[in-house]
Chain A
Amino acid sequence: MVPQPFIQFFNITKIFGKNIVLDSLNLDIGYGEIYGIIGRSGSGKTTLLSILVGFIKPEKGRIFFKGQEITSDLPDSVKQQIGFTAQEGSFYPKLTVKENLEYFGTLYNLSQTEIRDKIPQILKLVNLDKDENKISAELSSGMRKRLDIACAIIHDPKLLILDEPTEDLDPLLRKEVLNLLKKINKEKDVTIIMTSHLLEEIEQVCTHLAILHDKEILIEGTLNELKDYYSNNQEIILQTYSGKYSWLIKALKEKKEVNKVIESDGKLLVYSPEAESILRFIMQELQSNNEKVLDVDLNKPSLSEVFESLIKENVQINRDNKKES
């Protein structure tokens, strides 16, 4: 029996004015996962999260939380199980660290005793236990992000949603925050959904990911599944002096071993599980056509390359569709 997803988006469409932001989007997120949603800026990541926390409503589609359909406003029982951090810190800068936690703890229906007990634990978890009486505005960027996360988990949510959690942080602080997320996921058994356009950090922390592009999910799965899928292909990166590849693309597309051919920025990207034989074929073709090679490389794709190729492939398909129509 297939386990029920923790969160299920079904056929979600969101329109702002005349602009379709999400179009018939489907996504399943399982229990205990650290789910990364990657996509370019403006691809609809924040909108998707805002729908999930009930801040905005989709025009179409259904959302299931632990199998229960959310039909109207997000019920308080569901809100109680969700923690959220936005791109910028959602706390009061003029209150102290402790006062912010007390305030949001109360709003999340915690009793005064529970708040008193939880604050030291949470502060220790986010490594702010020595700064509880500091005014929040006086904290460093990394501390602020940790306080924001602390505010989001004060009520022990089952689902923690983070919108670009490492935005504007330096690499060290970024690593610190990502480690904290792993710690929360492990120690508190919290399902985490995070968005980012920084693929390295998604690669570093997420167990699952989805690529959101052009209003829809292009691909989703575990990181290993995606890597495995793309590790079957090797990537040939070719650059010639002329930079004209149309004749070569046509020739490559006739080859069964070639899975994808993408032309981008004067370069040709070719994906194939038999990259070495294809590379030989390319060199022969170039020689017979008197094309001089400027640069050539053979790689196993990283996540960012997977992302780029998928995006480019999607762009290519769209172009082809337009030409056909």
Chain B
Amino acid sequence: MYKLIEIIKKNLKLLLRSKSSALIVLLGPLFLILLISMAFNTTSLYDIKIGTYSGSYSELSNSIIQKLNQDEFKVVKVDDRDECTNKIKSNDLHVCAIFPDDLNINSKESIEFYVDESRMNLVYIIINSISTKVSTKSTELSTALTSTLLNSINSADAKIGESSEKIVKLSVTLSEIKTNIESIRATLATSLNQTANVSLLSEKADELNMSGAAGELINDYRILTNSLISKLKSSQESVSTLNSASSDIDAQITNVNDVSSELSEVKSNFNSIEIKEVSKIVSPISTEIKPITSQSTHFAYTFPSLLVIVLLFSGLLVAATTIIEEKSSKAFFRNFITPSSSALFIIGNYISNLIVVLFQILVIFASLYLLSSATIPAEIVTNLVLIILLTSSVFILLGMLIGYLFKSGETANLAVISLACILLFFSNTILPLETLPMAIRSIAEYNPFILGVNALKEILLFKSSLAAIATQFYTLLIYVVMLIILVYVVRLFSKRRYVE
């Protein structure tokens, strides 16, 4: 045990007495945390330049530009279409929006957005942000149009109601007229039935063959009856006319009833429209994206990655540097010939490096606390410490492996940077893993960087239990065991190489 403590003490003294190493160890994480917290402590995009071009800007296009010009975007009107797209290539603009000439809601042409697809990490954020802005304007227009439409329908509904009542009254009036006509027709028919009696009376009067006053009277009577018969005969024609009129009125009543029922149907259709709110019609399905955690800035989401990046670089670099320094030191030889096992030196170096890395993590947490008063809930401390220990162990052992494998500091540093880049590239930090081919993705999922980030994310953001991160925990544990064996073998091999 004394030996182990002495080896650790010696390693730490050597590290701290080298000014550059001490500076990196102490100030490196502080600097990193300050820089990254300043950079990521927001949810907005900054200084996104949008170029716009149109042969003739309409009121609508100007209103969309005005919308885009708010907040994080800076809109610049460009005089030429090609200039607009070329400025994206030269990074002067992030997006180029081409508006159709005299854009209005009846325009069939669409607004074209040009983006630089090679800036993969930015382009989707910009597209999403611009789409949101344009979609807001589009919704505003839809709302206005729908509102007008609904007002017209409501007005028509009210007028149909009024007209229906009038039509019903008309129908009633027509029915009454028809009844009156029928009555007249019946009276006339009765009168007509008397025509024969009158004719008979007239004939009987003729048969009397009376003269004188009686004859004159009978003559007057005959004239009167003839006139009466004649009028009765003409009334018969009126009855026919009345019959025809009655039939017409029937037809009109039917028509009026049809119109009435059609209006009722239209009204009923209007009434059957359940949703009459403009917002509901414009956007019948409302969506709202709700985060599973409530963090106000990007920093909270990037913190697990930041933590693992610190573990990755400091673990690999510090471990590789201490091993290379140890190997290039003349004292390395004396260490070999002392009655102390190889395992003791490996454990000693591992613990020394672990102390340095954990110190850096402590500095990060302390700076976070001082800068933003962020604290770690007590229930996640154990899991957090376990995962930090495992992840840093993997990177330290990898660094030690590189230290023992390579002869010079330069080649070891090159190997460290290459390995760190590979681990970073095949993680979610630069590109989502989902963009990788399946075969590579299935391998990348075992990347210790990803395992560490995922486990820390679950612990820090969702306060997950150890059972929830069991896969990451055991995979990292297996890595640690495998690397310990590998480091032991490589150290023995490096002894042989040192001799040769």
Contacts and interface: CB of A to CB of B under 8 A. Distances in A.
A229 interface: no
Given A102-B6, A112-B2, A79 B338 contact: yes
B331 A55 contact: no
A152 B333 CA distance: 12
Given A95-B14, A106-B2, A106-B3, A56 B338 contact: no
A86 interface: yes
B377 interface: no
A85 B3 CA distance: 21
Interface string A57-90: 0000000000000000010110110101010111
A103 B326 CA distance: 14
Given A90-B330, A95-B10, A56 B499 contact: yes
Given A103-B6, A106-B3, A79 B330 contact: no
B18 A50 contact: no
A107 interface: yes
A148 to B, nearest CB: 9
Nearest to A152: B334
Nearest to B345: A107
Contacts of A76: 339
B17 A90 contact: no
B6 to A, nearest CB: 4
A6 interface: no
B436 to A, nearest CB: 45
B331 A91 contact: yes
Contact of A55 (B3, B6, B10, B499): B499
Task: Point out which of B9, B18, B330, B500 has the most chain A C-beta atoms below 10 A from its C-beta.
Answer: B330
B196 interface: no
Given A86-B333, A88-B330, A94-B18, A107 B13 contact: no
Contacts of A84: 334, 337
Nearest to A53: B337
A91 B339 contact: no
B14 A94 contact: yes
B331 A90 contact: yes
A160 interface: no
Contacts of B334: 84, 86, 90-91, 104, 151-152
B286 interface: no
A55 B339 contact: no
Nearest to A89: B330
A93 B2 CA distance: 22
B337 A92 contact: no
Interface in B17-47: 17-18
B89 to A, nearest CB: 53
B91 interface: no
A50 B14 CA distance: 27
Residue from the set A16, A82, A106, A151 with the largest chain B CB neighbour count within 10 Å: A106
A50 B3 CA distance: 24
A95 B337 CA distance: 20
A54 interface: yes
A109 interface: yes
Contacts of B17: 94-95, 135
A107 B340 contact: yes
B3 A107 contact: yes
Contacts of A54: 337
A285 interface: no
Interface in A223-277: none
Contact of B333 (A82, A90, A102, A103): A90
Nearest to B341: A76
A28 interface: no
The residue in A89, A94, A100, A151 that gathers the most chain B C-beta atoms within 10 A of its C-beta is A94
Given A86-B330, A89-B330, A90-B330, A108 B500 contact: no
A103 B331 CA distance: 11
A80 B337 CA distance: 9
A189 interface: no
A99 B330 contact: no
A88 B10 CA distance: 20
A80 B339 contact: yes
B460 to A, nearest CB: 38
A53 B6 CA distance: 23
Given A16-B500, A94-B13, A99-B10, A108 B338 contact: yes
Interface in B303-339: 329-331, 333-339
A82 B9 CA distance: 25
A76 B339 CA distance: 5
Contacts of A107: 3, 6-7, 335, 338-340
12 contacts: A55-B333, A55-B336, A84-B334, A86-B333, A90-B333, A92-B14, A94-B18, A100-B331, A103-B9, A108-B338, A108-B339, A152-B334
Pairs A-B, 10 closest by C-beta atoms: A76-B339, A90-B334, A107-B338, A106-B6, A79-B339, A94-B17, A53-B337, A90-B330, A107-B340, A88-B330
